[in-house]
Amino acid sequence: MNKLPTKQIYLLMIIVFGIITLSIYSTYSIFTLESESSDIVSIHTPSNLSILLDSYEYQQVNVPANSYITTDIDIYNNYNYDICYSIWYTIATKNIDSSRIKIYENTNESITTSSTLSSVSNRRINLIIINDNNQDVKVNIGLANAENKETCELNIESDKLIITNTIDNPKVLTDNVINNTQPTNNEEGYLTYKDIEEDIILSNEKLYVSKEFTYKDELFTLTDPEEITIDKILDYKNYYTCLDSNECNLLYNIIDITKEEDSYKITKYNILSGYLSGDIGLRKINNDYYFYGDNPNNFIYFNCVNELDTNTCELWRIIGFIYDTEENKYLTKIIKEDYLLNDKYSDNNQEWDKSSINKYFTDEYKLNDNYLKEISFKQENITDLTTKTNDIKLYNNNIKSNITLMNLSDYLNASICENREIKNYNDECLKNNWLNKNNQINEWTTSIKYIEPYKDKTTEEIITPDNNTIYSVGNTIEDNAVSSKLNIRPVVYLKSRMFLTSGDGSFENPYVIR
């Protein structure tokens, strides 16, 4: 038997070693990519994986429903020339909403998922892959590369999407705020809501206006006010007004006024709203956390037209963090800061899913529901105002909804006062409560006053009470006929995976989420 020449033996050993190394490496790469933690993904451009120029290599990751994963991409260039590259992705799972899949590069610098890499060098890129679908989704992550010849032509196919957005060291909203919010004491002051464009139709014959005002005990007082007739109002832009008085809880700073026939309207204005000094913060009640006090730092931007531009966002506030027993995680419960409309609850029904407001929310009021968690709840049943806050019963309905209203418990938990019977919630408790907007008109809750049919003791006749009242909150707590017209503010639950990207929750610097 002839022996192989030394050169051939040496070459064969190199080939065998290369095959074994490639096999081990490939197994490692796929295993770590598909593992639960998905800590490392190695996408190579070197020759030892036989990647040719203008070719594609990809790996597949699984992203759980309503969750996210983080993945490191290691790019190696072992060629003796510079390369251009782009990391791309495709969604492998069929029949899902692709707009609910987002991939960011985790950096505070410019994007490097499409860039150049010098010869014999490497780069690590951290990706965050978000899945806001209600089912698990598989995502293919790949790399396109070519030699850098002053211009880069990667010829990436149209079905492959390029990563173009960055996110800077995000933290889960619920965990970050719960762990970092400490009770504190705030001084009395007021907030200025700017450039509001909801018309105020002036119906009074006389108005009080002034260039200056003072503020104390949550009350604005005009300084040396002028009493004018409505037909003079066009001359008083940039003035402050309490409308029909010289004192008020909400002060209007007039910007634009119009006249239409005999009607005068303030069409653009700022609103000044006061708050009291006192304790503020986040407190735990059972398994949930609630913001309390008259002005806690719980402002948050939401429902943005462009999530990268906070000027396109609405201002909301966080009611609290509610423990979801389905996910075993906290959901963020938020409420719109300003009223959406003033209307009746329904014609004659207490149940939320049959109410006019729910129909309006479902058919007309549109929110970006990528971030919303549909929740299952029962309406609170407060039979009378002697009920203790921790003894409120639940009505026997079970409702699922994306958008709802606050309930009475939310309002009570927002007060500085604790563990009191509802009837004893005095002025201090009602005022030192950030959910109380000091408006002349209360706002609806979903909490009902429902009385079961009962037997008359004298006649033994079964009496069926006329249950048509819902509780409202504001400067008072009242049960109102469902046909009453009161203020309405929507409430939603954000998914547990929401990222906090910036902000401290103050009015001047609200939380920014993605």
Q: What is the biggest distance separating any 2 CA atoms in the chain, rounded to whole angstroms?
A: 119
309 three-state secondary structure: coil
Structure tokens at 270: 């700022």
pTM: 0.85
Q: What residues contact 88, with CB distance under 8 A and at least 6 apart?
A: 141, 142, 143, 144, 156, 160, 161, 162, 163
The residue to which tokens 């409120």 are assigned: 392
pLDDT at position 228, please?
92
pLDDT at position 8, please?
55
pLDDT at position 95, please?
93
Contact 180, 122 (CB under 8 A): no
- Which residues partner with 334 through β-bridges? 318, 492
Backbone angles phi, psi at 432, to 5 degrees: -80, 65
Nearest to 57 by CA among 72, 42, 38, 71: 42
Backbone angles phi, psi at 60, to 5 degrees: -115, 135
Distance between CA atoms of residues 473 and 407, nearest Å: 9
| Interior angle at CA 332, CA 444 and CA 399, nearest 5 | 55
Nearest to 349 by CA among 389, 387, 395: 395
pLDDT at position 3, please?
52
Q: Write out residues in the chain with pLDDT < 70, as ranges.
A: 1-57, 389, 419-420
Over its C-alpha atoms, the chain yields an Rg (Å, rounded) of 31
pLDDT at position 461, please?
83
Residue 166: exposed, middle, or buried by beta-carbon count in 10 A (0-12, 13-18, 19+)? middle
Tens digits of residue pLDDT in 295-342 = 999 999 999 988 888 889 999 999 999 999 888 999 999 999 999 999
Tens digits of residue pLDDT in 211-245 = 999 999 889 999 999 999 988 999 999 999 998 89
Domain layout of the chain by residue ranges: 6-168, 189-275, 288-513
pLDDT at position 451, please?
80
